[in-house]
Amino acid sequence: MDVLGTAGLILKARLERLRRDERGVTAVEFGLLALPFFAIIGAILQTSIIFLASQVLESAVHDASRTIRTGQAQSLSLEQFRTEVCDRLYGLFPDCAGLHVRVNVVSNFQSATVAPPLSQPCAAPCNWSQPESWATGTRESVVLVQVYYRYPVIVQLGPLGLSNMSDGRRLMGSATVFKNEPF
């Protein structure tokens, strides 16, 4: 037998042993499945945080609007109302100065139109197209309160991601319409 034949037999035997060896299978499987697994976990957590933040914003706006409805906000400024909303957000919003607040008196409930204060289509950086407003009205006025926030989305999954703005953020908003009490 020549040297090449012997080397071929040795190589064949070692490859056969390597094929039967299963010691690293778990590490290889983990390596293959880790990235999709952690991406799914991240997407689930991001979705949960966005839904929670959206609900907390909704509750904060309704609770803070109570000060307008009862006449307590007559002495407040727009910044103080923003602070009232921010105090109820439990740290879920990174920058409360980013809240866009619009409080307007409307003639009746039917005339209350809610529209995001962004120009459409929104090109990055998606700045506010309408100014903030602060008009709490008088007794028995119909008031429309709108609060919007551009929430950062950390986990971007391409077109299936949670961002609904071209700059990778998600526009969240809350609006409520009510009639002031006879204060």
Give me 167's structure tokens: 């700059």
* Contacts of 34-39 spanning 24+ positions with Cβ under 8 A: 39/155, 39/157
Give the domain range for residue 27. 3-180
Give pLDDT, residue 1. Answer: 54
DSSP-derived letter for residue 160 is G
Give pLDDT, residue 20. Answer: 75
Give the pLDDT confidence of 62-85 residue by residue, as tens digits. Answer: 999 999 999 999 999 999 999 999
Give pLDDT, residue 15. Answer: 80
User: Among candidates 180, 50, 172, which has minimal Cα distance to 103?
Assistant: 180
Under 8 Å CB-to-CB from 112, ≥6 apart: which residues? Answer: 106, 142, 144, 177
Could you list the mean pLDDT of each consecutive 10-residue stretch along the chain, which spans 183 residues? Answer: 74 79 82 91 91 96 96 93 95 92 95 84 74 93 96 78 80 95 88
User: Could you give the number of structural domains in the chain?
Assistant: 1
Give me 22's structure tokens: 């299963």
Give pLDDT, residue 135. Answer: 95
What's the pTM? 0.79
Give pLDDT, residue 11. Answer: 84
CB atoms within 10 A of CB 62: 17
User: Among candidates 74, 78, 25, which has minimal Cα distance to 86?
Assistant: 78
Instruction: Find out whether 136 and 68 touch, Cβ atoms under 8 Å.
Output: yes
